[in-house]
């Protein structure tokens, strides 16, 4: 069981408490801590959040995901530190490699690098990156990271991204596992071909039979892995639990227990953004969920 770090909305204004939050959850038995990635929340978005025509007000206040993971890494000793997800094509691969290597070194090898391609054209505009060919940019970014995390000197030349050959004497403690967010067939096949893990979502409340849908999606990953000569068992699944405003924590716990029983997946983290308005209430909710699910 893991939890999102305080990062958005009213939680962002209490950024000075990130280290305390991370330490208290680790001491209570949490297994992982996670960040997301928002660059800008457009006032007139071309594409809204989650199929809507707007972006939640909580995204108007944002803390940097790399800084948060560094703070949590320095303050803790055991928990894994994950991103779900960094919008990889927004970043030059050399910058991305430097930031993630720093986090992995500071945390002594506890980083999970979770990547996706995002959905906001305005975030791409703000980064001076074309919104088109996002999947291809992600693939090339992964290739560039592999080069920088496994060779010295390192360099990469692709159609969309290029990293000049350079020295890479400082490497991560170990190559960070790369987990990918995916729901459509092409993205799921990418997980099977090259991902170390899959990052699906469990909504609460959610439709009945969600576990069966997750297993059907996971089957696409497994088939792609076999076709690529990889062992599907080596690809992890970490489920993000998105809790809607007004949801009772008992319903959250019951959903996790049901999905775990239906799928056999046993690695979850919970995003409490919409059911808490302060770091104190977020921490209290996380501790109560841990007690219920571990009791």
- The DSSP code for 8 is B
- Cβ atoms of 208 and 143 within 8 Å: the answer is no
Helix axes 210-227, 185-194, angle to 10 degrees: 50
pLDDT at site 50: 85
Residues in CB range of 18: below 8 A, 6 or more apart:
5, 6, 63, 68, 71, 72, 75
**What CATH number should be reported for the domain holding residue 203?**
3.20.20.30
Predicted pLDDT of residue 291: 95
Which pair of structure tokens corresponds to residue 173? 């403690």
pTM: 0.96
What pLDDT, on the 0 to 100 scale, is given for residue 92?
97
Q: Are 29 and 38 in contact (CB under 8 A)?
A: no
- Domain count of the chain? 1
From 244, 225, 245, select the one nearest 236 (Cα to Cα). Answer: 225
- Which residues form the domain of 246? 2-294
Alpha carbon distance 107, 79 (integer Å): 9
SS3 10: helix
Q: What is the three-state SS of 162-227?
A: EEEEECCCCCCCCCCCEEECCCCHHHHHHHHHHCCEECCEEEECCCCCHHHHHHHHHHHHHHHHHH
pLDDT in tens, the chain (295 residues): 999 999 999 999 999 999 999 999 999 999 999 999 999 999 999 999 988 899 999 999 999 999 999 999 999 999 999 999 999 999 999 999 999 999 999 999 999 999 999 999 999 999 999 999 999 999 999 999 999 999 999 999 999 999 999 999 999 999 999 999 999 999 999 999 999 999 999 999 999 899 999 999 999 999 999 999 999 999 999 999 999 999 999 999 999 999 999 999 999 999 999 999 999 999 999 999 999 998 7
CA atoms within 13 A on the CB side of 253: 14
Q: Which two tokens stand for residue 112?
A: 């999970």
């Amino acid at each position: 069981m893991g939890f999102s770090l305080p990062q958005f909305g009213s939680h962002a204004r209490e950024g000075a408490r990130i280290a305390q939050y991370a330490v208290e959850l680790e001491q209570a038995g949490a297994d992982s801590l996670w960040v997301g990635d928002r660059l800008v929340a457009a006032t007139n978005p071309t594409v809204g959040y989650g199929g809507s025509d707007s972006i939640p007000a909580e995204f108007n206040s944002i803390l940097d995901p790399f800084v948060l993971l560094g703070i949590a890494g320095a303050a803790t000793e055991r928990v894994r530190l994950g991103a779900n997800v960094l919008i990889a094509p927004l970043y030059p691969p050399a910058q991305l490699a430097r930031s993630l290597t720093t986090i992995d070194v500071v945390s002594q090898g506890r980083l999970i690098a979770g990547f996706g391609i995002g959905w906001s054209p305005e975030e791409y505009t703000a980064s001076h990156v074309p919104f088109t060919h996002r999947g291809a940019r992600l693939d090339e970014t992964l290739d560039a990271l592999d080069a920088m995390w496994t060779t010295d000197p390192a360099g990469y030349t692709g159609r969309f991204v290029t990293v000049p050959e350079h020295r890479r004497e400082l490497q991560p403690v170990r190559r960070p596992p790369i987990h990918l967010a995916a729901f459509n067939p092409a993205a799921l096949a990418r997980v099977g071909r090259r991902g170390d893990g899959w990052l699906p979502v469990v909504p609460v409340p959610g439709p009945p039979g969600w576990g069966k849908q997750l297993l059907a999606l996971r089957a696409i990953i497994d088939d792609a892995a076999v076709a690529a000569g990889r062992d599907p068992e080596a690809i992890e699944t970490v489920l993000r639990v998105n809790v809607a405003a007004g949801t009772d924590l008992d319903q959250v716990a019951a959903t996790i227990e049901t999905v775990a029983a239906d799928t056999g997946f046993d690695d979850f983290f919970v995003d409490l953004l919409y059911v808490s308005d302060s770091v104190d209430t977020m921490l209290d909710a996380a501790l109560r969920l841990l007690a219920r699910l571990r009791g």
